[in-house]
């Protein structure tokens, strides 16, 4: 008789990884981060079980985008948010968002690759994004993500 392995809470070990976003492609970086947050890089990955690790992203301001017209993408890609009031739609381009809040660009890209439910929202709390190379998580001894 075959038995399916189902990891228990005590069996799950969570690690810390640090990623340098300087010069990295936004989409490819986001897919690597999402896989680590979901725990898909572990051999004991089980769907429906939160097995992911914590990810620290530094140098978020240095992230790049690709495409046939890179400068066009910086000006045509827009981020939207709504205040909830009539006429409360606010739009900002990728170029302006990278200049003002580059951490929101990475967080938004990773959120688009996670499940849009309670589990995905909880996994997003394991992502820490910083604009510069400094981060307050040295005590966790993060190792570089390959």
Q: How remote is the C-alpha of 40 from its chain's centroid?
A: 14
Q: Which residues of 58-88 are buried (b: 16+ CB within 10 A; e: fewer)?
A: bbbbbbebeeeeeeebbeebeeeeeeeeeee
Q: For the domain with range 16-65+102-144, which CATH number is right: 3.90.1180.10, 3.10.20.340, 3.40.1380.20, 3.40.50.300?
A: 3.90.1180.10
Instruction: Please name every residue paired with 90 in a beta bridge, in sequence order, or none if there are none.
Output: 81
Structural domain spans, the chain: 16-65+102-144
Average pLDDT over the chain, rounded to whole?
93
Cα separation, 76 vs 78, in Å, equals 6
Percent of the chain, pLDDT > 70?
97
The pLDDT value recorded for residue 15 is: 95
The pLDDT value recorded for residue 118 is: 94
Q: Are 22 and 46 in contact (CB under 8 A)?
A: no
24-79, pLDDT tens digit by residue?
999 999 999 999 999 999 988 888 888 999 999 999 999 999 876 656 888 889 99
pLDDT at 120 over 70: yes
Q: Which residue carries 């381009």 as its tokens?
A: 93
- The token duo for 14 is 């969570």
The alpha-helical segments, DSSP class H, found in the chain are 26-38, 70-76, 94-100, 102-111, 118-124
The pLDDT value recorded for residue 90 is: 97
pTM of the complete model = 0.89
The pLDDT value recorded for residue 70 is: 56
Q: How many CB atoms sit inside 10 A of residue 117's CB?
A: 8
Collect all residues with Cβ–Cβ distance below 8 Å to 8 and sequence separation of at least 6.
Answer: none
The pLDDT value recorded for residue 46 is: 87
């Amino acid at each position: 008789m075959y038995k399916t392995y189902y990891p228990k809470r005590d069996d799950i070990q969570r690690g810390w990884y640090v990623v340098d976003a300087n010069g990295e492609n936004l989409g490819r970086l986001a897919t690597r981060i999402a896989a680590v947050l979901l725990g898909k890089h572990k051999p004991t990955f089980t769907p429906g079980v939160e097995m992911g690790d914590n990810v620290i992203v530094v140098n978020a301001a240095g992230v790049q985008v690709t495409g046939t017209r890179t400068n066009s993408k910086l000006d045509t890609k827009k981020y939207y948010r709504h205040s909830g009031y009539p006429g409360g739609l606010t739009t900002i381009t990728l170029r302006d968002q990278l200049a003002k809040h580059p951490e929101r660009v990475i967080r938004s890209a990773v959120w688009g690759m996670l499940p849009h439910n309670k589990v995905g929202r909880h996994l997003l709390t394991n992502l820490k994004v910083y604009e510069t190379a400094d981060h307050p998580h040295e005590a966790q001894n993060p190792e570089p993500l390959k």
